[in-house]
Structure 1
């Protein structure tokens, strides 16, 4: 649980390094610890390291051994409670606080920045213990006061639940950690690869083809003889059988634009000669055409 310096654990050992030798290098007279000729001490960025550098420096912190690693104050507090089988709903604050402060005193000697958040939790534990020792005021006896440990218990239970969920997730097999996907090489020439064409690409290709066909087509103009007098006769015959005819019904849209133009000119000529009347009941109402009224 507590950090220890490996240098302190090595007291009593008879093997010591020479003062002028690089840190981590074997003694000059010890050939058993030296690697064989051509063997690498380690690998640096994938390259073998055959010789230790002369300016190799190993900081003292690199030789520290942590018997127990905690991820924060709640993790340490939960460890102390579970290790001694305390009831988390009825925490003995005095014992837990003393054990917690012992751990904080140890880490303050080696890492003051790390001990800051642990000191904050220690202050909270002392505050809870002091609130439990204070006598209750008369008006607080009638109203059931909240346990000072309630908020701490809630945080501990939530932290333990999340921690157990993290262990369960970590137990799930993961790619490149617990197993590797099987990769099979298949000769490319043996497997036909068909293009994946989307409907949008196919539509764009068809639109481009139609556009090119329109550019290359030949427009042929044919001569068509249309008689205005003939269309005037057709309109008069149409009006003789009906009293009123709607304006749009006098035109044959299927005949094309030239026929519509000639038919419209024929109707204007009939109106000019007062053979037909073009009427409308009110603004924006349908337009009707009828034969002109002629007295007997």
Structure 2
């Protein structure tokens, strides 16, 4: 590639606007490179350049099949579909099939099948019509082809109408609103066991607030002080617990305890204990003779 670059540079130095090589390809056209290779300007095409035949294809019309091509040829030239001029249509059809066959033989297979059918219809039209047993005229050889073309045209028009309808994702989008999870509180599922526990708690609280009548009982501290002194007379020591009778009820026990405190305050009794955590004893106070 060094030689072409040298010749191109020499042509630029000479100031020529157009230089031709032996193959007829231009080296420099208005000081513009023919192409660029890896970013470098290329002023002359290489001699061994190979371009595959199918590197560039231009499709002027795209058809979905033989019927689509036939319908296009008929409608473009305003032919009566019920009275198709088979010679003109077949000639144009074969021209297109020949172009397709050169590019893609597999694609041309179904087009060739339709071409054979057109040639057959054209041949049958050249023959004299056969009369039926009832004396009626024979069916037109083009009838089957016309029926298929009309059905195909109806389906194609229906597909076009469907394509014009608004499509989701093409013509409109579904509105969506995203809400943060924190704004959507999700409450836990409640089971039957939870309901039973809640109901039991309600019943328990209801019992606590039930109405009850309070009666007042007159209890005398002085009287119980006398009862305690009588219980201590003639005894050296009496255990603290033996002075209380739980069967008398809480109010009596409270008044008895207050009575003991009053007696101890007035120094009429002594409350002693041998050591820590040892039993507590109560006795009358000792008075010297």
Rg comparison, structure with higher value: 2
TM-score normalised per structure 1 = 0.47
